[in-house]
Structure 1
Amino acid sequence: MPDSRPLPSIGPYRLANRVILAPMAGVTDRPFRSLCRQLGAGLVVGEMVTSDPSLWHTRKSRLRMDHRGEPGPRSVQIAGGDADMLALAAKLNADQGAEIIDINMGCPAKKVCNKAAGSALLRDEPLVGEILDAVVAAVDIPVTLKIRTGWCADSNNAVRIARMAEDAGIQALAVHGRHRQQKYQGEAEYDTIAAVVSEVNIPVFANGDITTPEKARSVLDYTGADAVMIGRGAQGNPWIFREIDHFLRQGSRLSAPDAEERQEVLGGHLDALHAFYGEHMGVRIARKHLGWYLDGDSRFDDQTRRTLRAIFNGLEDTQGQRDFIDELFRHDPATASVHVAKAVAQHGTRAA
């Protein structure tokens, strides 16, 4: 049954639908954000950016902060453990065109948590309050927050953090249904998200293990959340946004993308990566995306996927990768790896 509630807003920005691309370091760069928005994401959030401006001169930070040509609202996620530095980072990003600032208190990565940032902050509620107050006061654009259920099973404090966030002026909250020590293992739980929804009056976005339209519908029904946030479920499957949106609006499944559309999307994504990063980096970053696309393509069996992935990972130039995509869809899936291998060998001979 279609969801008749009004679509959620973040400050002055009404979401286009109830399906949001989660921020993922190393994944949600500008090419992937643009693709997901094109395929139905109601909001996209950029990769987390360090709150230390002295590190913004690096190529990685410059690329993460590149939102040129993107439609609004532009949501930028910042990460750090110092309230004053996070406030400064928020202000500087707002000055550079950010329209929403998102604070990262959900990342479970060791290199982030070891710096008392990401989900490690959930262990220090006074510091959380200090950060929330400082960042909200520093900018005149909406500030949102992403958290986990807590640091560990014995410190499930998401409801308290949510209340603090609302009191501080946070305008929307995303909750991943795992604590930090779980990382991405086990199954996400939604009872905590439902408890958060019942305790606050700001929009809440449910995150964790949402990989199908049916799962999105059941999570929204169970938790009462205003939207779902999709992370790993979008890797290799950017079509998930339009599929979930259609299911929520119409109650029926969209057909899966056919081979022609898959070829068009993969080729376009590949071209965007090479244009954004240049050939050297683009070729390498494309490898993980191609692996995810293969994992999500039911036309190929596991052995064929492994063979194709190995071939693609051995390619060192833009044209070779482009030829691979074209050849991949030119033949029957059962024999694709044989034909792709021949094409790659011929490409190598021409290059020599």
Structure 2
Amino acid sequence: MVKIGNIELPDFPLLLAPMEDVSDPPFRRLCKEYGADLMYSEFISSEGLIRDAIKSKMKLDIFDYERPVGIQIFGGDEEAMAMSTEIVAAVKPDLVDINFGCPVKKVVSKGAGAGVLKDVDLMVKLTEACVRSTDLPVTVKTRLGWDNDSINIYEVAERLQDVGIKALSIHGRTRAQMYKGEADWAPIAKVKDNPRIHIPIFGNGDIDSPQKALEYKNRYGVDGVMVGRASIGNPWFFREIKHFVKTGEILDPPTLQDRIEAVRKHVIWSCEWKGDRTGILEMRRHYANYFKGVDHFKPFRTKLVQLPEKDDVLGVLDEISEHYLA
């Protein structure tokens, strides 16, 4: 069993990474159905929360069926991070997570996300401000360092643990790498092997097959893995990893009917949460991933991304089923 504060997770838990424009409640619901053990909201700007930005407040929506679930915040100001932690705690997630890993320019340029990797003292102050502002467990997601010349994850892990975080997720790249090259898990293993470290350490980066998940579990000794991009259009991935870790057997891939039914659920849940118009618009980014590799699918994909009405989209899913499975 792995514990984050008072949250009990199974041995070698699988975490769904917080992904902007992906990890919303409908997608999290699917991933939970297929085996994700702990999930996080899309990351939320502390300043956006404080000024009551509608998009930021909407990201606070969590539901009992997805527990345990964490809400992730980012920012570069102590007072704003403390205030936003209090706002987050009021909606009663199971934990609060701090993003010190997002590498995108618009976040880093504000001195937030991975931008904080250049100032470990500030990182510690921001984390301590959050820990002081809530009784909920506070966790952190970060990267190895700013670049290869400033890998500071060893110091970061110790100092953040010392100010009270209850778990640490580490992406095996620097900010300079963005998402390029191969993730380096050796520093993650070194953090886990540090006798001073007693909180759970989760590894993130390039987990794209059940075999790799088990290999990295055994090679690097992490307490669990966080899955990001490999889950997009593939919520079954969590079930596949669990089955392989338990049995050493590869599950059959989802059938086309499995994919259609998952998309149907995703569409319906997205419209229930966001309203039909926004739900349909925001589903358009997902279809290519769900139906990747299906022969001669382009005409159906074109329909899916052009239709504005939920019932019409659901009708196309019926057409796909009839065309390929009749």
Q: Same fold (TM over 0.5)?
A: yes
- Deviation, structure 1 residue 192: 1.4
The one-character-per-residue Cα deviations of 1:8-38 (angstroms, maximum 9, x if unpaired) are: 1111111145211011111100111111111
Whether 1:170 aligns to 2:165 is yes
- Are 2:102 and 1:107 equivalent residues in the alignment? yes
**Match in the other structure for 1:190:** 185
| Contact 2:284–2:304 (CA under 8 A) maintained in structure 1 | yes
TM normalised by structure 1 equals: 0.88
Return the letter of the residue paired with 2:146: W
The one of 240, 243, 251 equivalent to 2:240 is 243
Q: SS at the partner of 2:15?
A: strand
Tell me, in whole angstroms, the C-alpha distance in 1 between the residues paired with 2:22 and 2:51: 20
Q: Distance in 1 between matches of 2:63 and 2:308?
A: 28
Matching of residue 56 in structure 1 with residue 55 in structure 2: no
Aligned partner of 1:205 among 184, 202, 207: 202
Q: 1:116 to 1:194 in 2, by over 3 A?
A: same
Structure 2, unaligned stretches of length 5 or more? none
2:189·2:220 contact (CA, 8 Å) conserved in 1?
Answer: yes
d(CA) in 2 for partners of 1:55 and 1:281?
23
For the pair 1:219 / 2:216, whether they are aligned, the reply is: yes
Change (3 A) 1:56 1:247: farther
1:107 aligns to what SS in structure 2? Answer: coil
Partner of 1:287: 284
Tell me, yes or no, if the aligned pair for 1:176 and 1:208 is still in contact at 8 Å: yes
Task: Give yes or no for contact 2:114–2:146 (8 Å, CA) kept in 1.
Answer: yes
Deviation sequence 1:118-143 (CA, Å, 0-9, x none): 01100001101111211111111100
For residues 187 and 34 of structure 1, the distance between their equivalents in structure 2, rounded to whole angstroms, comes to: 30
Distance in 1 (CA, whole Å) between partners of 2:214 and 2:25 is 28
TM-score, with normalisation over the residues of structure 2? Answer: 0.94
Q: Structure 1 CA distance, aligned partners of 2:192 and 2:300?
A: 44
Do residues 154 (structure 1) and 119 (structure 2) align? no
Give 1:84's match in structure 2, choosing from 76, 79, 88. Answer: 79
Q: 1:340 matched to which residue of 2?
A: none
CA distance in structure 1 between the aligned counterparts of 2:248 and 2:137, rounded to whole angstroms:
32
Q: Report what 2:7 is aligned to.
A: 13
Counterparts of 2:133 and 2:276, CA distance in 1 = 39
SS in structure 2 of the partner of residue 288 of structure 1: coil
Q: Please say if 1:311 is aligned against 2:306.
A: no
How far is 1:258 from its partner?
2.1
User: How many Å apart are 1:307 and its aligned residue?
Assistant: 4.1
Aligned pairs for 1:20-99 (under 5 A) are 20-52=15-47, 53-58=49-54, 60-99=55-94
| One of 326, 329, 333 as aligned partner of 2:321 | 329
Q: Tell me, yes or no, if the aligned pair for 2:50 and 2:84 is still in contact at 8 Å.
A: no
In structure 2, distance between residues paired with 1:78 and 1:273? 22
Residue type of the partner of 1:253? I
| Cα distance in 1 for residues equivalent to 2:286 and 2:324 | 22
8 Å CA contact retained: 2:32, 2:66: no
Paired AA for residue 108 in structure 2 = C
> Number of matched residues?
322
Once residues 267 and 16 of structure 1 are traced to their aligned partners in structure 2, the CA distance between those partners, rounded to angstroms, is 30
Q: Which residue of 2 aligns with 1:3?
A: none
Letter of the 1:260 counterpart: Q
Unmatched segments (≥5 aa) in structure 1: 1-6, 337-352
Q: Structure 1 residue 306: deviation in Å?
A: 4.2
In structure 2, the residue matched to 1:341 is: none
**Mapped partners of 1:95, 1:178: distance in 2:** 33
Q: 1:81 corresponds to which letter in structure 2?
A: G
Q: Post-superposition shift, 1:289?
A: 1.2
Aligned counterpart, 2:260 = 263
Could you tell which deviates more after superposition, 166-175 or 48-57?
A: 48-57
Larger-gyration structure (1/2): 1
Q: Which residue of 2 aligns with 1:123?
A: 118
Identity among equivalent positions (%) equals 37
User: In 2, Cα distance between the equivalents of 1:309 and 1:222?
Assistant: 41
RMSD of Structure 2 on Structure 1 (CA):
1.6
Deviations 1:72-115 (A, max 9, x none): 32311011011221112112211221220000001111111111
For the residues of structure 2 that align with 1:15 and 1:114, how far apart are their CA atoms? 36
| AA matched with 2:241 | I
Give how far 1:71 is off: 4.1
